Structure 1
């Protein structure tokens, strides 16, 4: 059951961030995805406004967004974005690697969601593949096909050395400016 706060329209208190987004230059009937997006966190209030403004600029007003309810760290019914309000749908059955946006015209946009802790090179390859109009792979398959690469932040698989108190493997960090918005067309 949703609380009163979850039923309210959320108005973000900070300006939207520039999304790390690659979109397909054309909508192909053959393509499975319309692009790829690399979020900086699992906070939907911080992450979604920038993404949605980029999608609105490309495809027109967005009326609804559907996301996995388990992956994101909060849920709400409506989000104020620019001059509009987007209805949110949260589903445990929706793959965490997929965001579905529905335009006012009824077009469905399927966008790969690259996890925030993914390394920059891997994220870039995944988003490029998702934005390829000839791509026929689904979102989770793209992520599964990516080679293991260093992730941003602490390595969850690093072994703590019981003698010296340090991790065995170092972790490379990506610079935040490595990727930018791609708005073809």
Structure 2
């Protein structure tokens, strides 16, 4: 259905810390789709880009969400001219938003200081 609106899909953008590590590209139907993780991509969204640059933002409902609440949220998000924010649609409180932002900032700081790389180097030391 996305290709009906966007044509051939070129890229998929996701929040780097919100998803498991993904390959840099996906081959489907003989075509290559680039998968790009960014820390500035809003959490709970995925952007899908067509070859001509058209963009469609998809809302990702957390898997533990009550089915009725998830359906209501998706119906609200799909309304024409809906201008609600992701946090507003998911009824994320300011406290939860602050906690999420602090966790993301801490993760970025850890990685920028050599987090994953340093851990791997330590694990490879003899003895």
**TM-score bracket relative to the smaller structure:** 0.5 to 0.7
Structure 2 residue 76 is the aligned partner of structure 1 residue 129:
yes
Structure 2 residue 52 is the aligned partner of structure 1 residue 105:
yes
Cα–Cα, structure 1 residues 58 and 82, in superposed 2: closer, same or farther, change >3 Å? farther
Q: Deviations over 1:56-102 (max 9, x none)?
A: 24431110010011111222210122232110110122221111111
* 1:88 paired residue among 26, 29, 35: 35
Please report how far the alpha carbon of residue 136 of structure 1 lies from its aligned counterpart in structure 2 after TM superposition: 0.7
The two structures have a TM-score, normalised by structure 1, of 0.46
Q: Counterpart of 1:64? A: 11
Tell me, in whole angstroms, the C-alpha distance in 2 between the residues paired with 1:140 and 1:95. 10
Q: CA RMSD in A?
A: 1.6
Q: Larger % of helix: which?
A: 2
Cα–Cα, structure 1 residues 140 and 81, in superposed 2: closer, same or farther, change >3 Å? farther
Q: Which runs of 4+ in 1 moved over 4 A?
A: none
Tell me, in whole angstroms, the C-alpha distance in 1 between the residues paired with 2:58 and 2:87. 11
The two structures have a TM-score, normalised by structure 2, of 0.65
